[in-house]
């Protein structure tokens, strides 16, 4: 595992003036596994256009990128960090039916976040998870951000649930894969969502009865059903086409960043018009 060193860079606001609007703007970053690298590209586009956010919410992979953004990391710094870890640092590659400890995710996240807690973030942030005991959505708003990210990313059967207080927490995508409503509850007047798994409705059908085939089809169905709430609560949804990329392997991470960037840039005219920005 390579060492990540945060670079001293000129602040973006010294180069590109921040856009001011009459709206409180929320950013909702969806789940989508390894496709989450596209979220970094979206943030890079927002930075270049000077568009900032009052609230950030993430589910699963979106919670990892959202946490980094809320902590003050630039897109370029996130890209640099992405080259310091491999899939094997996060998930067991060779053990079928053996769940990986979610502490792997927490460990990688904390190498970037350096023990930051919610109250020390530069932008108000929430991470969405689900409690297996109650079957209800649980939104982190305090404590360790790295632990919140690990819970939000803990895909059932792939990762072990995260114990937190009296809860057993897993991936928030089970109930809320595009957490736009959480941004609304935080106070956002206008919500921009980035959906990195917009093809979740494709290829749902499955005729094979092997364990992995059934598990994969089941997860696709769950993800499709939990996307509706996010779509209803979003003013604009950016949907990078990541069809050719796996949600379980990070091959092509640089290409995913580029696709997220381009899709977001293509949406900028619509965003600016909707916000009344000239």
| Residues carrying an active site annotation | 60, 171
Residue where the block lists tokens 């960037």: 261
For residue 158, the SS3 value is coil
Residue whose pair of structure tokens reads 């059908």 in the numeric block: 205
Is 272 within 8 Å of 241 (Cβ atoms)?
no
What is the distance in angstroms between the CA of the first residue and the CA of the last residue of the chain? 45
Contacting residues for 174 by C-beta, under 8 A, at least 6 apart:
130, 156, 222, 226
Contacts of 207 (CB under 8 A, 6+ apart): none
Angstrom distance (rounded) from CA 150 to CA 129:
9
Q: What backbone phi and psi angles, to 5 degrees, belong to 276? A: 75, 30
- Residue 34 is encoded by which pair of tokens? 């390894």
SS3 55: strand
Q: What share of the chain is helix, strand, coil (3-state, %, to 5)?
A: 45, 15, 40
């Amino acid at each position: 595992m390579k060492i990540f060193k945060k670079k001293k860079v000129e602040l973006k606001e010294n180069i590109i003036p921040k856009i001011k609007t009459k709206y409180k703007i929320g950013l909702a970053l969806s789940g989508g596994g390894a496709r989450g690298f596209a979220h970094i590209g979206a943030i890079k586009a927002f930075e270049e256009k000077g568009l900032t956010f009052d609230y950030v919410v993430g589910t699963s992979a979106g919670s990892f990128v959202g946490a980094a953004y809320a902590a003050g990391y630039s897109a370029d710094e996130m890209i640099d960090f992405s080259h310091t870890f491999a899939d094997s640092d996060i998930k067991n590659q060779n053990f079928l039916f053996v769940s990986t400890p979610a502490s792997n995710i927490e460990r990688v996240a904390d190498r970037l976040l350096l023990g930051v807690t919610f109250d020390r973030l530069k932008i108000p942030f929430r991470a969405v998870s689900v409690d297996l005991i109650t079957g209800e959505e649980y939104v982190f708003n305090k404590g360790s951000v790295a632990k919140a990210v690990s819970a939000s990313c803990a895909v059932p059967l792939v990762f072990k649930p995260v114990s937190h207080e009296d809860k057993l927490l897993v991936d928030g995508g089970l109930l809320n894969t595009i957490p736009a409503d959480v941004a609304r509850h935080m106070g956002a007047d206008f919500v921009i969502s980035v959906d990195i798994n917009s093809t979740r409705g494709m290829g749902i059908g499955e005729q094979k009865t092997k364990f992995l085939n059934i598990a994969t089809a089941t997860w696709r169905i769950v993800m499709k059903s939990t996307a509706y709430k996010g779509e209803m609560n979003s003013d604009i949804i950016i949907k990078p086409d990541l069809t050719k990329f796996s949600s379980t392997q990070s091959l092509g991470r640089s290409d995913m960043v580029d696709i997220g960037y381009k899709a977001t840039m293509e949406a900028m005219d619509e965003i600016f018009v909707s916000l009344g920005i000239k």
